[in-house]
Amino acid sequence: MTRLPLAAAIALLVAACAPNATRPPEKNVAASTQAASADAQFADLSKRWLDGTFAASPVSATQTGDHRHDAELDDFSADGRAHSLAFAHAVLADVDKIDAAKLSRENQVDVAILRNQLRSDIWNAETSQDWAWNPLVYSGIAGNALFSLMARDFAPLPDRLRAATSRMEKLPTLYAQMHANLDPARVPKIYAETALKQNKGVLSIVDEQIAPHAKELPDAERQRLEAAIANLRKAVDENQQWLDHTLVPNAKGDFRIGAERYDAKLAFSLNSTLSRQQIRERAQKALAETRAQMYEIARGVLKGRKKAPALPEHPTNRQQQAAIQAALDIAYADHPARDKVVATAQAQLAKATDFVRAHDLVGMPDAPVQVITMPEYARGVALAYCDSPGPLDKGLDTFYAVSPIPDDWTKKQVESFLREYNTRSIAELTVHEAMPGHYLQLWHSNKYPSVLRAVLGSGSFIEGWAVYAEQLMVEQGFLDHDPLFELVHLKWNLRVIANALLDQGVHVDGMTREQAMHLMTVETFQEEREAAAKWVRAQLTSAQLPTYFVGWQEHLDLRREAEQHWGSDFSVKRYNNTVLSFGSPPVRYVRELMFDQPIE
């Protein structure tokens, strides 16, 4: 028997147990039966898609918390790709047969999300074809295949070591598929160079998290594990040689994906009503308004200081720039030592957690979070990320991963980095990645009963919430209403705004590195190391950087609407808990669910 989604089951139970003993009219009984039938049909289809997706993507399944395929690896052969594409077409055909009007409201949202994902999967396979030009697809699978098994204690260690052994035995096949699939003429050089840097990171997982525990296995299994490790070392070395001598020298692809592909990918990624042009207009307006706010704070910070720049009420662009930069320089002076970035993040996490709890801003997680050094295979794209347990893994640690400063950086480069990630900036980063940002939000999301919705979480909802959380903490007075923290916060808002402008500027408008660096280092006050890293990230990703700005704007719009709807009944905690109660769907659907609007 297929279990109905929890919300639908409750709705049926409430109808059956209503305190009126009279029998409902026949037409209502028929309508209820039709709804139950439609929801049951969709539950079957959802399970079919999840089962098929997890079988085809074992690494993602492990990360989600479905451990039926922990010993398997994704198949990027021509047959494997053809099977996945045929599956997506078949499920989409069945999705399109469903009469969404007969579904529960919750399932109307889920069917829309599933349809968007299936269309995206088909577009990726047929049009984007990442498997043919993006080597990071393969290095990411290789690293996550082992890290997802060893990082969390979801099963006894010997069981996870057996699964890791099996995956290590299969990794040479993954590298062979990468060599067969990638067309160097289509591979952008920046992708090839990044894959070269990441390649050996998989061995650090082996050396630090697998090999030291080999003794936990019986002799025969230990010997199999050691043989798998030896064979993997050989395969990684051979892959390094192939990357270094074949892929990198011959990588001739263009990292810019162009307007047509960009707009299609953006629509799938955001699932928003905002177009590329509307995003640009809102971002440009927000850029000017945020700089004006920063100037007013800077005037207060600099007032009466010796050698302060001119602070007129109506500044020129040059005067505004000088004043904001001078005030930021004061904040930059307070930064951690080179080797204390991770420790500073840990201290700020404790402060943020205490503050959220004391101010009763939102329901608090009961699962742990750890600040960790970012695994080597994942470095080179972003400074930090939040790695939450999958929705099917309950009560396990969330990892707030922070990348260490590279050993080969010069003193000048390190100083630039630490100016950007000063103590107040690390506080802001911690709010975003952990409390009350990603860690807290994803903990709430994983409690939502729809596995489908959890698996298909909206990037713009998730990133937008984290940026909204930054603003929430400033509004509530985190760090004692420190004006320099508020100034740093507004600078981070500028980073979000710049992300949106940078992404479409690079991939559609042909923005050069010089233009990108001016946007980041001058217009939005980012330090050279941060801007240089973001330029790399803008080349390595597309349609992801705008999720921060678009989601943030949608969350702000939604909160204003809630304040109007609820009036005197509005409270920050009520709003936050309500928004987080729906999982992580696109914000447009949260609005419709919150305010009982039709599901579009």
Write down which residue in 250, 281, 297 finishes a domain: 250
Write down which residue in 97, 128, 159 finishes a domain: 128
Q: Are residues 109 and 207 in the same domain?
A: no
pLDDT tens, position by position, 298-313: 999 999 999 899 999 9
Residue 444 lies in a domain: no
Higher pLDDT, 379 or 120: 120
In 243-275, alpha helices (H): 248-250, 259-270
Q: Are residues 21 and 102 in the same domain?
A: yes
- Give the separation between CA 533 and CA 545, rounded to whole angstroms: 13
Q: Are residues 560 and 417 in the same domain?
A: yes
Write down which residue in 222, 250, 278 finishes a domain: 250
With bands split at pLDDT 50, 70 and 90, how would you rate the model's confidence at 403?
confident
DSSP state, 253?
A: B
- 137, 131 contact by CB (below 8 A): yes
β-bridge pairing 398-402 and 384-387: antiparallel
Q: Are residues 415 and 528 in the same domain?
A: yes
Please name which of 254, 262, 247 lies closest in space to residue 197, comparing C-alpha atoms: 247
- Give the separation between CA 485 and CA 477, rounded to whole angstroms: 10
Kindly tell me if the per-residue pLDDT of 17 is higher than 60: no
Residue 350 lies in a domain: no
**Of 58-67, 394-403, 438-447, 548-557, minimum mean pLDDT range:** 394-403
Residue 387 lies in a domain: no
Structure tokens at 89: 């077409």
Q: Are residues 155 and 34 in the same domain?
A: no
The whole-number pLDDT of residue 571 equals 97
Length of the chain: 600
- Give the separation between CA 43 and CA 547, rounded to whole angstroms: 29
pLDDT tens, position by position, 477-536: 999 999 999 999 999 999 999 999 999 999 999 999 999 999 999 999 999 988 999 999
Residue 372 lies in a domain: no
Average pLDDT over residues 392-396: 84
End-to-end Cα distance, the chain: 30
- Give the separation between CA 379 and CA 401, rounded to whole angstroms: 10
- Give the separation between CA 192 and CA 197, rounded to whole angstroms: 9
pLDDT tens, position by position, 198-215: 999 999 999 999 999 999
Residue 155 lies in a domain: yes
- Cα 264 to its chain centre, rounded Å, is 19
Please name which of 232, 120, 130 lies closest in space to residue 175, comparing C-alpha atoms: 232
Q: Are residues 124 and 231 in the same domain?
A: no
With bands split at pLDDT 50, 70 and 90, how would you rate the model's confidence at 404?
confident
Higher pLDDT, 414 or 202: 202
The whole-number pLDDT of residue 408 equals 87
Q: Residue 172 is inside which H or E element, if any? A: helix 157-181
**Of 39-53, 390-404, 535-549, minimum mean pLDDT range:** 390-404
Phi and psi torsions of 541, nearest 5°? -135, 160
Residue 219 lies in a domain: yes
Q: Are residues 465 and 568 in the same domain?
A: yes
Kindly tell me if the per-residue pLDDT of 23 is higher than 90: no
Name beta bridge partners: 188. Answer: 253
Kindly tell me if the per-residue pLDDT of 140 is higher than 90: yes
Q: Are residues 178 and 95 in the same domain?
A: no
- Averaged confidence pLDDT in the chain: 92
- 146, 210 contact by CB (below 8 A): yes
Burial class (CB in 10 A: 0-12, 13-18, 19+), 112: buried
| Number of CB atoms found within 10 A of residue 235's CB | 19
Q: Are residues 175 and 79 in the same domain?
A: no
**Of 30-44, 262-276, 335-349, 468-482, minimum mean pLDDT range:** 30-44
- 456, 423 contact by CB (below 8 A): no
Q: Give the domain range for residue 461.
A: 331-336+411-426+451-594
DSSP three-state, residue 387: strand
Percent of the chain clearing pLDDT 70 (strictly above): 94
**Of 11-25, 135-149, 423-437, 543-557, minimum mean pLDDT range:** 11-25
DSSP state, 370?
A: E
Kindly tell me if the per-residue pLDDT of 546 is higher than 80: yes
Name beta bridge partners: 385. Answer: 401
- How many domains, in total, are found in the chain? 3
Q: Are residues 563 and 511 in the same domain?
A: yes
Average pLDDT over residues 173-197: 98
Angle at 440 between CA 7 and CA 544, to 5 degrees: 90
Percent of the chain clearing pLDDT 90 (strictly above): 83
DSSP three-state, residue 372: strand
Kindly tell me if the per-residue pLDDT of 189 is higher than 80: yes
Average pLDDT over residues 582-599: 96
The whole-number pLDDT of residue 393 equals 86
Kindly tell me if the per-residue pLDDT of 30 is higher than 90: no
The whole-model pTM stands at: 0.88
Q: Are residues 54 and 72 in the same domain?
A: yes
Q: Are residues 88 and 39 in the same domain?
A: yes
The whole-number pLDDT of residue 531 equals 94
Kindly tell me if the per-residue pLDDT of 5 is higher than 80: no
Residue 589 lies in a domain: yes
Residue 226 lies in a domain: yes
The whole-number pLDDT of residue 146 equals 98
